[in-house]
A and B are shown apart, each in its own frame.
Chain A
Amino acid sequence: MARHIVARVEDIPHGGRKIVRLEGREVGIFNLDDRFYALKNVCPHQGARVCLGRIVGTTLPSEVYEFKYGLEGRILRCPWHEWEYDITTGRSVFDENVRIVTYAVEVVDGEIAVTIGAERPAAAD
């Protein structure tokens, strides 16, 4: 396991992201309401650089012909096939077993650190 300082909190504004390279892999660091999340930049479907996708919301499960748009700013859509992922968990919205690899993030003294090789606990505030 190795811990990497990837940015200072002010480097990644609300709703923003930063792509970094750690130990040979690209990782996307996302700021949602001052909580930071780290996702591997590989879509589990066909390998696209998923962290470059649009950050949007989605239509939540609903009754027939009812629309509930929600999770604005929390959904990452893959640049290729438009698969939708929850940035906070890495899981797709259509099958919780389809997920982007995630990494543990912590913030210490304004520095964002990502640990490669660790199961991710709750996101860092």
Chain B
Amino acid sequence: MAIATDLHTRPLTESLDPATLRLIDTDIHNDLPSLQELRPFLAREWHPYLDNGGPKFAARYYANTGSGRMDDAVREEDGLCAGDPDWTIGQLMVKYRIDLGVLTGGLTGAISVDHNARFLAALASAYNDWTLEKWVRPYGCFKGSILVTPQDAAAAAREIHRLGDDPGMVQVLLASAARIPYGNVCYWPLYEAAVQYDLPVAIHVGAEGTGIANPPTGVGYPSTYLEFHTDHSQTMMAHCVSLVTEGVFERFPTLKFAFIEGGVCWAPYVMGRLDRLYPQLKAETPWLKRPPSEYIISNCYFSTQPIEEPDDHKQLLQLLAMLHAEKTVVFASDYPHWDFDNPILAFAHFPKELKCRVFVENALEMYGPRLLAPSAR
């Protein structure tokens, strides 16, 4: 079935028919060409903070020896890379036949780890409004993420209440870089608000060790980007174990939690390890009513990119089976970043049924009906 590009470039007038969908991308990094674009969305008292360079304390300091982006995604005339919705539709959505994409932007890390929580809360609101106005409401193919700062869970909850009914927003988004593991009770107001609107909460890698966040690994700061990037799975593992054992999914049984850009193969290890220790140590966590892995299968989602690529594809399929990927794994491209996964080639060895689950059906279950609904109210 050919994809109709007018569904991409115009607002939807009615909900999409899920039977027509072939691919949903859960991680598209639309770019903010300039911080100053947020000025009209930001209260006057914060303008000097923009003029001073914005959340610079969170500036990324681990960089690889390449450009960090897909060099062929840069528009020659203005140097923008995913900075223009129509360009992105042509470069990504049409080229790879992606029906719907969830925008994860470029400020998630900064809004989680810069040093001034009041400014970050204001910046998050401005960014969310900018996303809705420039990228979501004019198009039929993009949905937004409600960025919030985890440093002030009450402010995060207020932002979720402000936008939680907006059909253009399909999840709450935080960085996996953090000061405290995400199961901690300090974050619960944020989760309470998210479940009220049936919004999944997603965490995304990349800002580890920057700003006020803890070092990128449990043993401190690695030397190279190779180390840094490989070690992203460590923060994902720590948050996942924390969420399960602190009882977040008992306290909020309908909360859906997504791990974005951490890869997937660490999760079967976490499940096995937790289940092995649970009978011996469950006295510490009497609120856990089920083997820990069951909470992961029932409440957690994992995005594919960067998908592990063993020489023997069967090994990956085995790990995915251990993770119950038919329920828990969703596709992500990470466009336009350098470790983009091409949906046509990177998943060629997936069985058809699993591909349907990963490409479409799991994302529909994770985001719910608002993913298919028109974004304009």
Contacts and interface: CB of A to CB of B under 8 A. Distances in A.
B309 to A, nearest CB: 8
Contacts of A79: 70-72
B311 to A, nearest CB: 10
Interface stretch (B124-132, B213-221, B339-347): B339-347
Interface string B268-283: 0000000000000000
Interface residues of A, number: 12
A46 B64 contact: no
Given A53-B71, A54-B71, A79-B72, A48 B66 contact: no
A48 B95 CA distance: 12
Interface residues of B, number: 14
Given A52-B71, A52-B72, A82 B345 contact: no
A82 B65 contact: yes
Contacts of A81: 338-340
A54 B345 CA distance: 23
Contacts of B344: 47
Contact of A46 (B65, B71, B341): B341
A79 B66 CA distance: 9
Interface string B217-238: 0000000000000000000000
Residue among B70, B71, B346 with the highest chain A CB neighbour number at 10 A: B71
Given A49-B72, A52-B71, A80 B338 contact: yes
Interface of A: 46-49, 52-54, 77, 79-82
Interface of B: 64-66, 70-72, 338-342, 344-346
Q: Which 8 A-B residue pairings sit nearest by Cβ, starting from the closest?
A: A79-B71, A46-B342, A82-B66, A79-B72, A46-B345, A47-B345, A80-B70, A52-B72
